[in-house]
Amino acid sequence: MGNACSVSFSCDDTISHCLDCIVSQAGYICHLKDNLAALRTEFQKLIEARNDVQIRVLVAEQRQMRRLQQVQGWLSRVQDVEKEVPRLLAEIIGKEEEILCGFCSGNCIERHKYGKRVVESLKNVQSLRKGGDFKDVAQTVPENPVDERPLPPAVVGFQSTLDRVWRCLTEEPVGIVGLYGMGGVGKTTLLTQINNCFLHTPNNFDFVIWEVVSRNLQLEKIQESIAKKIGLCNEPWDGKSFHEKAQEIFEIMRSTKFVLLLDNIWELVDLAQVGLPVPSRTSASKVVVTTREFEVCGQMDAHKSFKVECLGYEDAWRLFEEKVGRDILDSHPDIPELAETVARECGGLPLALITVGRAMASKKAPREWEHAIEVLRSSASKFSGMEKKALSRLKFSYDFLPSNETRFCLLYCSLFPEDYGISIEDLIDCWICEGFLDEYNGIGARNQGSSLIRSLLHACLLEEEDDNRVKMHDVVCDMALWIASTTEKQEERYLVLAGVGLTETPRSELWQEVTRMSLMQNKIWRLPESPASPHLLTLFLSSNYISMANEEFFQSMASLRVLKLSHTLPRHFLVGISNLFSLQNLDLSETGIEGLPLELRYLVNLKCLNLESTYRISKFPGQLISNLKMLEALRMFKCDSSKQKSSSILFGGSLVLVEELVGLKHLNVLTITLHSFAALQRLLTSPRLQSIVSNTPSLSLTNCRSLSSLSVLTLASLRHLEALDMMDCKDLEEMEIDYAGEVKRIRETHGFFSLHKVSIWGSKLRHVTWLILAPNLKHIAVTNCRYLEEIISLDKLGEIPSEEMQNLIPFARLGFLYLGGLENLRSIYPRALPFPHLKELHVTLCPKLMKLPFDCTSGLERKLIIKGQEWWWNNLQWDDQATQNAFLPCLKKWHF
């Protein structure tokens, strides 16, 4: 009763293995004397080889070379053996009779033990002797790991950025750092400061390597700079291939701590291809690059990127003062004020400040300074040194833009005044109508336009003012105008006289060859008889005092495509505009115009019509919009009047307007003001308008007297809604939402994700709790809502499921909060909020608002401004004295 187990194996193999072991063990005993003799001989040869290597190292070090790490490692291992072998020999000699004589069992055990140790030592010594055959024992190294680089005598304005970068390099888990900014902003100066900072910490890094890359990338040149720094440049090095050099660099650099500073890169520099180990976040080695393109920082896998900004005014003035000299500034009492104006014209750009400052360093007459101001404002390229030393350097960024379309779009931005906040949507409207964006149709063209703007922002040729606007730096604008005036394309001629104080349009002969003209921000009040301008494609007349026009002014502008008249004063439609048959973009936004003529329907090529913020418009004939068959963008946000005429399509709640929109097949952008819930329902339910409505960025519900409730879910369906106005909806009592069931649905569909601005005026709402569902709200204005008691209701918050409430961070991006005429308002939010982005809080005529949702840390990093009446401030209740003291400096008193 049991189990039988059988195991089979090869008897021959086992016997063979046992015999090998027996022979090996016996060899330790039998050959002990021979092995001892061999060990002594090999050990002596090793010591001789070690002496030879040490002599070679000594000679090399006397020549200011540094021993190779593999040589140092070998010498260390020889040193260990030099201690072990004599100790073993001494033990054997001390037990010579026991070990070397007799074959009793006790002696055999000792002989076997020492025999094995001798064999192991012999193998180790032989291996070391073979490994000591070095071709090179040392390498040439510089006297210092860091070469100090010269700095200009006046370096100002970089300390804050320098401190942040230095912390990255010495304290934070960052391996690659990117510094980007426009040309001439001081990136090289900042990098030089970083380089020289390593002079004070020379033991932390083995090498600090500087290389100027420039536009013509040559990896071989970078290799040579590295090789020179680490001592590889010799005759054998010169004969090696690129890949062999890369491998040799890698063998050395992978065991060192290095810093690589690459100045002025324009594209990806493949560090691995050069032979460098690419630093990770945790690497001891560091790489810092400077570039004009933010995208290049991304291509380099920068772990952190810093934008090098233009100087603030105080630092800019210090730099300008240094270049001009106090003797000149004090030479006449009028010069300091004039000099400040000249300095401001440089826009904080160090390159411009230095160039202009040096040019003015000998000017002691006030008239010379006045002339300098005139030249800088009208044609900066004519100012001494600007073209050669400043504008031509900036032009590298222009030349490096990815396409001709991008370059055209940059030049187009120069039509706007310096530092002017350019609407992104307005800019794209213009580009579409100019034919710059003809690669796609509809939304595709708009996406292409957005991509071009991002390219210009990343190239630091445009600056982001906010989410909806960009601006062009003064000197970049000067550069663009200089390029436009010297372009080889004779069909492109720019005339830009924006913001120069004109009271009349330029004389007629200046119009003849011009293709694009900007007369924005002047004091022109009248448009005279028609100038001969057959080539004119673009005319900017915005922000003037224009109230009348000669009926023939537009007669000779047959090619005109874009006409901007925003921020002008005409009440009546300018005579002759309807004859511009080539016109594709007509901007009448923020004008005092009271009506549009039916003749406007003859503008059959019109693609973009902007009527936003035309508060006086009351005459809007039917069949006008529906006849503009090519219309792609119609902007009518805040286009309304309290006195609508019965013949207007806005009369009766704007329902007629919505019906006319249905027939516009090319329409893809719509901002609109509606005066009735019926019009809103028609807009939202029309199958033809569904795709348009989902892309609607701005909606105004104005004077919707019969509207008592509005579905939050309905508004959330406008997925790209950015601005919402609810004005004078006096019967609106409730924003309908099932907080228990619809919050999750709205969040999952990203409802209100794009909503940035909400204005509510004149309603019966008691709270606006739904606003917490808009995570990116930046601007809230709630005024003249006498029934409003809470902004966010505590009771309604209690209805939101806890799992949803945990993910809600109310007002996380809010920058501006305006509360006025809310006589029953008691609370903004029931608990203190961090308000990380809040800049301004305005409170007026809110007598029951006795507590703010702040603690001592709310919004303080943003230097919050609180505007309110003194009596209101004095009656506020605070959680503690520390919070009150923290916010006391924020108050800006309002007096009524």
Residue type, 103: F
pLDDT, position 81: 86
Q: Which of 821, 832, 836 is nearest to 856 (CA)?
A: 832
Which of 247, 248, 274, 246 is closest to 260 using CA atoms? 274
Rounded to 5 degrees, what angle do the CA atoms 240, 241, 247 make? 85
At 748-794, the pLDDT tens digits run: 888 899 999 999 999 999 999 999 999 999 999 999 999 999 999 98
What pLDDT is stored for residue 444 in this prediction? 86
pLDDT at residue 27 greater than cutoff 70: no
The predicted structure's pLDDT at residue 99: 62
253's tokens: 């650099």
Q: 109-136 as b/e, with b when 16 or more CB fall inside 10 Å?
A: ebbbebbbbbbebbebbbebbeebebee
Q: Rounded mean pLDDT of 292-319?
A: 92
Structure tokens given for 196: 């020289």
Every domain of the chain and the residues it spans: 19-140, 159-307, 313-378, 388-492, 705-896
pLDDT at position 606 over 90: yes
Give the pLDDT confidence score for residue 860 in this predicted structure. 63
Predicted confidence at residue 805, as pLDDT, reads 84
Partners of residue 585 on adjacent β-strands: 562, 608
- Over range 67-87, report the average pLDDT: 87
Sheet holding 463-464, edge to edge: 422-423, 469-471, 463-464
Q: What residues contact 836, with CB distance under 8 A and at least 6 apart? A: 812, 813, 859, 861, 862
Q: Which tokens is 16 given?
A: 């063979």
Q: How far is CA 581 from CA 62, 558, 565, 606, in A?
A: 86, 7, 17, 8
Q: What is the per-residue pLDDT for 84?
A: 86
Angle at 780 between CA 776 and CA 782, to 5 degrees: 150
Q: What is the mean pLDDT of residues 543-567?
A: 90
pLDDT score, position 895: 65
Q: Which string of DSSP letters, residue by residue, matches 796-859?
A: HHHHS-HHHHTT--TTTT--EEEEES-TT--BS-SS----TT--EEEEES-TT----S--TTTT
The mean-pLDDT minimum among 47-51, 207-211, 320-324, 375-379 falls in 375-379
499-527: average pLDDT: 91
Candidates 243, 251, 236; CA nearest to 274 is 243
The answer to whether the CB of 193 falls within 8 A of the CB of 160 is: no
pLDDT, mean of residues 255-270: 92
Query: Whole-angstrom Cα distance, residue 784 to residue 763?
Result: 8
Residue 154: which region, alpha, beta or left (left: phi > 0; alpha: psi -120 to 50)? beta
Residue 511 has pLDDT above 50, yes or no: yes
- Rounded to whole angstroms, the Cα distance separating 600 from 121 reads 103
Three-state SS letters, 25-55? HHHHHHCHHHHHHHHHHHHHHHHHHHHHHHH
Q: How much is the average pLDDT of 510-526?
A: 92
Binned at pLDDT 50, 70 and 90, residue 10 comes out as: very low
**What dihedral angle (degrees, nearest 10) is formed by the CA atoms of 461, 464, 470, 471?**
-60
Q: What is d(CA 264, CA 212) in angstroms, rounded to the nearest whole number?
A: 6
Angstrom distance (rounded) from CA 33 to CA 297: 69
pLDDT for position 827 = 95
- Determine the Cα–Cα distance for residues 539 and 483; give it in Å rounded to an integer: 19
Q: How far is CA 666 from CA 629, 693, 829, 894, in A?
A: 7, 14, 45, 49
Per-residue model confidence as pLDDT tens digits over 672-726: 999 888 888 888 888 888 888 888 899 999 988 788 999 999 899 888 899 999 9
Mean pLDDT (whole number) for 102-127: 73
Q: Is the pLDDT of residue 144 over 90?
A: no
Q: Which fold has domain 313-378?
A: Helicase, Ruva Protein; domain 3 (1.10.8)
Two tokens, residue 511: 């119009």
Instruction: Give which of 283, 282, 287 is closest to 260, Cα–Cα.
Output: 287
State residue 1's pLDDT score.
Answer: 41
For 337, 348, 472, the CA distances from 342, given in Å and listed in that order, are 9, 11, 18
**Residue 585 phi, psi dihedral angles, 5° rounding:** -135, 120
Is 365 within 8 Å of 332 (Cβ atoms)?
Answer: yes
Closest alpha carbon to 415 in 427, 406, 424: 427
Task: Give the per-residue pLDDT at 105.
Answer: 45
* Over residues 87-113, mean pLDDT: 66
Residue 331, helix vs strand vs coil = coil
Q: Tell me what the mean pLDDT of segment 605-622 comes to.
A: 91
Residue 781's pLDDT is 97
Which residue is listed with tokens 């919070």? 883
For 697, the 3-state DSSP assignment is: coil
Give the pLDDT of residue 761: 95
CATH topology of domain 388-492: Arc Repressor Mutant, subunit A (1.10.10)
Per CATH, the homologous superfamily of domain 159-307 is P-loop containing nucleotide triphosphate hydrolases (3.40.50.300)
- The SS3 of residue 377 is helix
* Under 8 Å between Cβ of 845 and 820: yes
The pLDDT, as a whole number, for residue 20 is 44
User: pLDDT band at residue 514, thresholds of 50, 70 and 90?
Assistant: very high
| Alpha-carbon radius of gyration of the chain | 40
pLDDT at 840: 93
What is the percent of the chain with per-residue pLDDT over 90, rounded to a whole number? 41
Query: Which residue type sits at 194?
Result: I
Kindly indicate the confidence band of residue 64, based on its pLDDT and cuts at 50, 70 and 90: low
User: What's the average model confidence in pLDDT over 274-294?
Assistant: 92
pLDDT band at residue 274, thresholds of 50, 70 and 90?
A: very high
Q: How far is CA 36 from CA 121, 258, 568, in A?
A: 10, 47, 107
φ and ψ of 407, to 5 deg: -65, -45
Angstrom distance (rounded) from CA 237 to CA 211: 20
**What is the pLDDT confidence band of residue 488, given thresholds at 50, 70 and 90?**
low
Tell me which residue of 708, 693, 820, 723 sits closest to 764, measured CA to CA: 708
Are 609 and 429 a contacting pair, CB within 8 Å?
no
Residues 6+ positions from 655 with CB-CB distance below 8 Å:
676, 678, 679, 682
pLDDT in tens, 452-483: 999 999 988 999 888 789 999 888 898 998 88
Whether the per-residue pLDDT at 235 is higher than 70: the answer is no
Residue 630 in this model has a pLDDT that exceeds 60: yes
**Are 753 and 715 contacting, i.e. CB atoms less than 8 angstroms apart?**
no
Residue with tokens 């050959």: 31
Q: How high is the pLDDT of residue 492?
A: 82
In angstroms, the CA 334 to CA 340 distance is: 11
Helical segments of 498-561, H only: none
Structure tokens belonging to residue 441? 């149709």
Q: What pLDDT does 16 receive?
A: 42
Q: Whole-prediction pTM value?
A: 0.75
Cα–Cα distance, 251 to 867 (Å, whole number)? 64
Q: Rounded to a whole number, what is the distance in angstroms from the first to the last CA of the chain?
A: 112
Is residue 264 classed as helix, strand or coil in its secondary structure?
strand
Query: Residue 11: which pLDDT band, with cuts at 50, 70 and 90?
Result: very low
Q: Which residue spans within 407-496 are E strands per DSSP?
A: 422-423, 463-464, 469-471, 494-496
What does the alpha-carbon distance between residue 285 and residue 207 come to, in Å, rounded to a whole number? 9
Residues of the chain with pLDDT > 70: what percent? 91
> CB of 417 within 8 A of CB of 519?
no
Q: How confident is the model at residue 69 (pLDDT cuts 50, 70, 90)?
A: confident
Cα 350 from chain centroid (whole Å): 21
CB-based contacts of 541, cutoff 8 Å, min separation 6: 519, 520, 524, 527, 563, 564, 565, 568
Q: Which pLDDT score is estimated for 154?
A: 67
Q: Is 587 helix (H, G, I), strand (E, B) or coil?
A: strand
Residue 124's pLDDT band (boundaries 50, 70, 90)? Answer: confident
User: For residue 20, which phi and psi values (nearest 5 degrees)?
Assistant: -60, -45
pLDDT for residue 885 is more than 90: no
Mean pLDDT, the chain, whole residue set: 86
> What band does 17 get if pLDDT is binned at 50, 70 and 90?
very low
pLDDT in tens, 168-211: 888 889 999 999 999 989 999 999 999 998 887 756 788 899 99
Helices (H) and strands (E) in the chain, counts: 31, 30
Closest CA to 414 of 453, 471, 468: 471
Three-state DSSP at 786 gives: coil
